[in-house]
Structure 1
Amino acid sequence: MADIDNEQVNDIEIGIVGSGSMGGGMTLLFAEHGSKIGCYDYEEEAVQKLMNTAKEDEKVNEKCVHGFTSLEKLINAFPKQGGKERKPRIIVLSMPHGKPVDGVAEELLPLLDKGDIIIDGGNEWWEETERRQANAKEKGIEWVGMGVSGGYQAARHGPSCSPGGTDEAWKVIKPYLETWAAKTPEGEPCVLHMGPGGAGHYVKMIHNGIEHAHLSILCEVRGLLHDQLSLSNDEISDLFESWWKEGPLRGNFLVGIGFKGLRFKEGGGIKNAKDGIVEKIEDKVTQDVDLSEGTGTWSTKEIGERHVAAPAIAAAHQLRIISADKFERSKVADNLGLPQPSKAAEAKLDKAEKSKLMETIHTAVYGAILGAFVQGLDIITKASQDQKWNISLADCIKIWRQGCIIQSDAIAEFFLPLFEKFPRSEPLNLLKSIPEIAKELAKTYEAQKKLYSIAIKTDAVAPALGASLEYIKAVNCRELDTNFMELELDYFGHHNYDVKGKTEKGHEKGKYHTEFSKTPGV
């Protein structure tokens, strides 16, 4: 096939390994900006398809895209330069996480020279990134773990990027990434160096955890609006569009694609869907269970291992898992025999009353989405402290302003000046350290109570909304009932406890014990 593995090519600037939707999108994006790209895939058909797409794309000079099915020939297609001034080769990996990356690394590393740079642009577990960085360092090769946000469309038109690695590697790749990345309306590129080691992949992982919470919040709200409050998809679409255009959810990416998606009457294999396609789509999210996507699972794992409260993120993950077991769920419903979700009394409100309720729901959704941001950013802060990455929360918000799934313009404008007051090394618990955020979240409390009460009364499924409300209640509570838990832990396990008035700051084990019974287990 024309131009595949062409040994005459000797001017490649960037090599991209993986010609699927993400790798293909990045190939076209980079070529559009004038870089000469070598795209590699072991499947010749995938490479040829991408090259054909480059020929058809009016924004891309097809002479900037060369295809390879041999990694060795891809590497040889870079300019032959010797001496200390040799320009580093840059190889971008766009592949599934895990073993496929190790397989390519095993073949790729021996072909590269000291100073060359590998950018892993997939979603990867941060510890795997750091392991590969250590292996590459032994050969003098830089390995950058970079989150690439925004899905396949952003990969083509400009993603949000979160690279992590050495300062030396960042200096080399910075001009390229700033050219390729999504831009704010003011022209600022949505890419910044997150920190050393696995910091970049960690930020992307928690970005996805926040994303999962937002997805769950919005699907639960859409369900309540449609099934419990009897709004049509067109009415919900109009409502979401109004939120997207104005107010605290202005510029929220998921709200924006939500109102557009609800207006589609057919798509994929679905035709003539009278009320839109959403009712024709199976309620089955399999990304986590089929292992094609690890970031939600890893985010939930980090919640436990970092000991950070992020219940909305955890609840969203659990709902996805339950949804994936469609056939098992149907059998469980037969066995339980409990009521299915029903209409809400509020569905019968008059026009003025319903309009007021929609304002309340708007506030509640904003509060839940804001709370998910807070929870995710607290995880990043804790990991940054533990791993000494020195991640800036202001930088996280800056790169999330365009080209990513959790873009939310009004929220970013609220967060950014608050975060910029803190240096990178400042320890943060957002609701403790920044009163303005706590006060903003408090304004949504009554609205969140009202929305969740509708779910409770109608047996509607709303775990992320419930977790968002319970999070506020718990962190606000000066006296939790966990003292009884401490009593029982000490009773059966001699775990000790603190005494009121003598409690010490921190997480040290209590100094006091009561021998409740001399008979074990009694």
Structure 2
Amino acid sequence: MSKGIVYIIYGVSGSGKTTIGKKLAKDLDIPFFDADDFHPESNIKKMSDGFPLDDTDREPWLQKIANEIKVWNTKNGAVLACSALKIKYRKTLGSIDEKYIKWIFLEGSYDMISKRMQARKNHFFKKEMLVSQFETLEGPEKGIVITVDKSSDEIVNEIKSKLDTNRSQLGLIGLGVMGKSLAKNLLSKNFTLSVYNRQVDDYEVDIAKKFVKEQPDNHMVLGFDNLKSFVDSIEQPRTIILMVNAGKPVDVVIEALVPFLSKDDCVVDGGNSHYKSTLERSDRLIDKGIHFLGAGISGGEEGALKGPSIMPGGSKKAYNRSGNFLEAIAARDKANNPCCEYIGPEGSGHYVKMVHNGIEYAEMQLLAETYHVLRFYAKKNPDQIAAIFNIWRNNGLDSYLLEITADILLKKEGDDFLIDKVLDKAGQKGTGGWSTNAALEVGMPLSTISESVMARNISGIKSKRVEASEKYQLKTYSISSNDTIFIENLEKAFRTASVINHHIGFELIKEASNEYNWELNLSKIARIWTNGCIIRSDLMEQIWKLFLNDNDTSLLLLPDIIITVKSDIHSLTETVAAGLTSGFSLPVFSAAANYFLAYTSAQSSANIIQAQRDYFGAHTYQRVDTSLDEYFHTNWKH
């Protein structure tokens, strides 16, 4: 067995932890320790008197053992017998260095354990405490599970067979750009890893084997192009992360994978899958006893390598099983907590990632429009615009997207700015459009996000735009007054439009949470987005704190936001007016302004819509001077 590994055998009292632990330690030729021996006298007396320990009693005891584990790790390892009934207790024990701990859960029914307890003598733990232990017990989220309905020798032999140290801790399928980066991230955290990539003649040949050769010698990684061998190389219960293209490829891989999987294995889809597909896959796999997590991952290639933002959705048991791997490789927020947290039930993780991408689409378009008016209306060069953006970054508007846009504008090819050689035809992978469809399904406005998708679509008809430009020959106008005032207004307009865009995204998440009974926590989601992901920003730092104690109030109705937006809204409307009258398209700025004006109008124009519908279709309408549960139809023709 591996040097420095601590094997923690846990379960309720009477499950055989001490007996099995001593036998296993003897076979492995390493020391055995019983957690009970580390209890202070006050704990022992309390249990002897028939009173269960509370978490206050356990905290110093568990921390003391965690410190001992650190010492045992520096030597040849050890076997520890410990009840560790709750997940948080196990997290404390594993807080020193989880990767050097192997968890072994001894499972048995209440009746079986109770009979064992009756046969025990001279032990301070009484049978009456067993009921409390079973009530407290939280099932295993990692490691191996051994049923104790057999002899101690059989149990030890089963443990040793499952603790084959030649097996990897987890597996990853798909070594594209994101897959490779995520695999390197896992290896950098000292996890042992098996990787698999398909073989396609003259296209994908020996990808996994080549990846293994490229890694440093101190990284334990195995490469496979045979799926069964790959699965067999991972310790049970298995965690396998899929990093393949969304859509049919995910289903093809899962279908090929399932025959080789075992009960309680967990499959994690880390791609940009549609949330409805994730729901379907989860249902199919749970029927086979296999866990499934749909984990949205944001951060691009660099994020995957250094620490992305991860949004896992699925059963809580699935997250308890495999979430430790995801948390280990995630980015860290300012308090050093992982930018990965359990989002909610099946489908919710990929839904939240979809909305993240929608917000991202609109933020990118806002920056593109800002650049465009600065370049062609205010007549600033790219390096001057980069300087303006960097000033904004120091004014509370810092974001990853603003940072990279400033970098882009400074890049030259010879004496020319490279941005001037980039074709104005934007690509997309479809997730922005998914957000729009999802919003329609729950009846929510998605103005900024939908408009950003449409802006990419219209950019795609380049030849038509060129033809129309030549035929109409419309003029654009440059700024005719103080550009300092315009740029100050533009900064406020950008801030306000960004707040409105984020509000729209979080409103969609909130409505979906209500519609699908997901009970999503907006503050947790915003916190996950404070680092690692594409939309990380100063604004996101503010949002997660604002939602911390007010999960149900809309962003635009929070007092701090009201003060800012009320002060700056005129800058947004003036910027839109100046841009449009000067011949510049500002779709997302305009959408933000229109949404806000409609959102804050007590009286809208929808009464005319309702009258029109009743006129041509007898759809009825409600009146302001009667009860809202009354509906009317009128013959409107004079």
Does the alignment reach a TM-score above 0.5?
Answer: yes
Q: Which runs of 5+ in 1 are unaligned?
A: 1-7, 80-86, 267-271, 288-292
C-alpha distance in structure 1 between counterparts of 2:483 and 2:416, whole Å: 21
* Count, aligned residues: 473
65-74 or 253-262: bigger deviation: 65-74
2:474 maps to 339
- Taking the TM superposition and a 5 Å limit, the aligned residue runs for 1:73-472 are 73-79=229-235, 87-244=236-393, 246-250=394-398, 252-266=399-413, 272=414, 274-287=415-428, 293-334=429-470, 337-340=472-475, 342-346=476-480, 349=481, 353-409=482-538, 411-422=539-550, 426=552, 428-432=553-557, 434-472=558-596
Which residue in the other structure is 2:174 paired with? Answer: 18
Deviation at 1:378, TM superposition (A): 0.2
Q: Deviations over 1:375-434 (max 9, x none)?
A: 00000000000001111000111100111111012x1232223211135xx4x44334x3
For the structure 1 residues 401 and 104, does the alpha-carbon distance in structure 2 shift closer, same or farther, using more than 3 Å as the test? same
Indicate the structure whose relative CO is greater, using CA pairs within 8 Å and at least 6 residues apart: 1
Shift of 1:137: 0.4
Provide the residue aligned with 1:516 in structure 2.
636
2:616 is matched with 492
1:249 maps to a residue whose letter is L
Deviating more after overlay: 9-18 vs 454-463: 9-18
Contact 1:17 1:94 in 2 (8 A): yes
**2:192, 2:220 within 8 Å by CA — same for their partners in 1?**
yes
Sort the Cα spacing of 1:240 and 1:305 in 2 relative to 1 into closer, same or farther, 3 A.
Answer: same
For 1:403 and 1:298, locate their aligned partners in 2 and report how far apart those are by CA, in whole Å: 23
Q: 2:324, 2:391 → 1: CA distance?
A: 38
**Alpha carbon RMSD of aligned pairs, Å?**
2.1
CA pair 155-331 structure 1, distance change in 2 beyond 3 A: same
Corresponding residue of 2:602: 478
Indicate if the aligned counterparts of 2:197 and 2:207 stay in contact, CA closer than 8 A.
no
For structure 2, the 5+ residue unaligned runs are: 1-163
Q: For 1:118 and 1:156, locate their aligned partners in 2 and report how far apart those are by CA, in whole Å.
A: 21
CA–CA distance in structure 1, aligned partners of residues 439 and 544 of structure 2? 24
Which region of structure 1 is more displaced relative to structure 2, 474-483 or 229-238?
Answer: 474-483
Once structures 1 and 2 are overlaid, which stretch shifts more, 372-381 or 454-463? 454-463
Contact 2:326 2:340 (C-alpha < 8 Å) held by counterparts:
yes
CA contact (8 A) 1:232 1:275 kept: no
> 1:290 matched to which residue of 2?
none
Highest CA radius of gyration, 1 or 2? 2
| Cα distance in 2 for residues equivalent to 1:190 and 1:217 | 25
Q: CA separation of 1:276/1:492 partners in 2, compared to 1, >3 Å: closer, same or farther?
A: same
The Cα offsets for residues 205-240 of structure 1, whole Å up to 9 and x where unpaired, read as 000000000011100110000011100100000111
| Equivalent residues of 1:248, 1:366 under 8 A apart | no
Indicate whether 1:34 and 2:190 are aligned. Answer: yes
Contact (CA 8 Å) 2:240, 2:268: kept in 1 or not?
yes
Q: Return the offset for 1:56.
A: 5.1
Name the SS for the 1:344 alignment partner. coil
CA contact (8 A) 1:10 1:76 kept: no
Q: CA contact under 8 A between 1:241 and 1:256: conserved in structure 2?
A: yes
The CA distance in 1 between the partners of 2:211 and 2:500, in whole Å, is: 42
Query: Deviations 1:452-473 (Å, cap 9, x if unpaired)?
Result: 1221122111100100111111
1:48–1:28 distance in 2 versus 1, CA, 3 Å: farther
C-alpha distance after superposition, 1:456-492 (max 9, x if no partner): 1221111001001111111111212222222111100
Counterparts of 2:374 and 2:504, CA distance in 1: 26
Gap change, CA 1:140 and 1:53, over 3 Å in 2: closer
The CA deviation at 1:9 is 9.5
Q: Residue 329 of structure 1: CA displacement?
A: 3.0
Deviations 1:332-372 (A, max 9, x none): 4455x2515x23234xx4xxx43333222111101111111
Would the aligned equivalents of 1:496 and 1:513 in 2 still touch at CA under 8 Å?
yes
Does the Cα contact within 8 Å between 1:364 and 1:444 map onto a contact in 2?
Answer: yes
Contact 2:190 2:219 in 1 (8 A): no
Structure 2 contact 275–350 (Cα < 8 Å) conserved: yes
Contact 2:209 2:224 in 1 (8 A): no
Q: Deviations over 1:125-168 (max 9, x none)?
A: 11110000000001000010000001111011110000001111
Give TM-score, length-normalised by structure 1.
Answer: 0.86
2 CA distance for matches of 1:154 and 1:211? 15
Q: Aligned letter for 2:437?
A: K
Amino acid at match of 1:511: Y
Query: In structure 2, how many angstroms separate the alpha carbons of the residues matched to 1:38 and 1:471?
Result: 49
Q: What's the secondary structure of 1:130's corresponding residue?
A: helix
Deviation at 1:503, TM superposition (A): 5.7
Quote the Cα distance in structure 2 between the aligned partners of 1:331 and 1:192: 50
TM-score, structure 2 length as denominator? 0.71
Separation in structure 1 between the aligned mates of residue 348 and residue 439 of structure 2, nearest angstrom: 16
How far, CA to CA, are the matches of 1:503 and 1:439 in structure 2?
35
Cα deviation for residue 443 of structure 1 reads 2.3
Letter in 2 for 1:254: L
